[in-house]
């Protein structure tokens, strides 16, 4: 990995070895009211508790999830330590490490099955992929509170908190 050339800047640290690969992919999420789910005899896997979308200087787009996460947690009234599982997009290793350091989260609760560097980054489907991975892992572990967050080109960051019934 150390021999790979930098991808964006000749003095940079981002290479093909520590960046998420851009992949094909598709995803869908079905959202509806609890009443509608019950009428269709569908299980309610989780409830959206809060969301946030923020913008930062496009040159700093990788850290936008920090601000989106903080705003989202403030809106729902949770502390990060209360969140059982986190799915966070990893655009690049340096970006993912920076977000983790700034939020001071417990890495053992983040991307427990791998993130975009390991799984790939189907650009248009990544948000759904992150949310679906989070929901299914919460079901598997009987976790109650989850957070999904990612950066978006142009300086945007988004975060979503979900909760499952006890």
Cβ contacts of 129 within 8 Å, gap of 6 or more: 25, 27, 119, 122
Q: Tell whether the model's pLDDT for residue 125 goes beyond 80.
A: no
Cβ contacts of 14 within 8 Å, gap of 6 or more: 6, 7, 8, 92, 93, 94
| Model confidence pLDDT, tens digit, residues 44-87 | 999 999 999 999 999 888 899 999 999 999 999 999 999 999 99
Can you give the pLDDT at residue 152? Answer: 87
Can you give the pLDDT at residue 59? Answer: 86
Closest by Cα among 141, 138, 142, 128 to 162:
138
Can you give the pLDDT at residue 24? Answer: 67
- Looking at the DSSP assignment, which residues form a beta bridge with residue 86? 110, 147
Can you give the pLDDT at residue 88? Answer: 95
For 34-163, CATH number out of 3.40.50.620, 3.40.47.10, 1.10.287.610, 3.40.50.970 equals: 3.40.47.10
Instruction: Write down the domain spans for the chain.
Output: 34-163
Write down the pTM of the prediction. Answer: 0.84
Containing H/E element for 16?
none
Q: How far apart are CA 18 and CA 134, in angstroms?
A: 23
């Amino acid at each position: 990995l150390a021999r790979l050339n930098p991808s964006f800047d000749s003095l940079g640290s981002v290479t093909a070895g520590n960046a998420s690969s851009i992949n094909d992919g598709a995803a869908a999420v079905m959202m509806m009211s609890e009443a509608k789910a019950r009428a269709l005899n569908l299980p309610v896997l989780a409830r959206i508790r809060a969301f946030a979308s923020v913008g930062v200087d496009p040159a700093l787009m990788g850290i936008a999830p920090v601000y989106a996460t903080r705003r989202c947690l403030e809106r729902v009234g949770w502390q990060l330590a209360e969140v059982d599982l986190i799915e966070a997009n990893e655009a690049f290793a340096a970006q993912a490490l920076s977000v983790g350091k700034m939020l001071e989260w417990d890495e053992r609760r983040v991307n427990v099955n791998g993130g975009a560097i390991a799984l790939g980054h189907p650009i248009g489907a990544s948000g759904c992929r992150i949310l679906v991975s989070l929901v299914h892992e919460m079901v598997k572990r009987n976790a109650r509170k989850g957070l999904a967050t990612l950066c978006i080109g142009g300086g945007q960051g988004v975060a979503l908190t979900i909760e499952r019934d006890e």
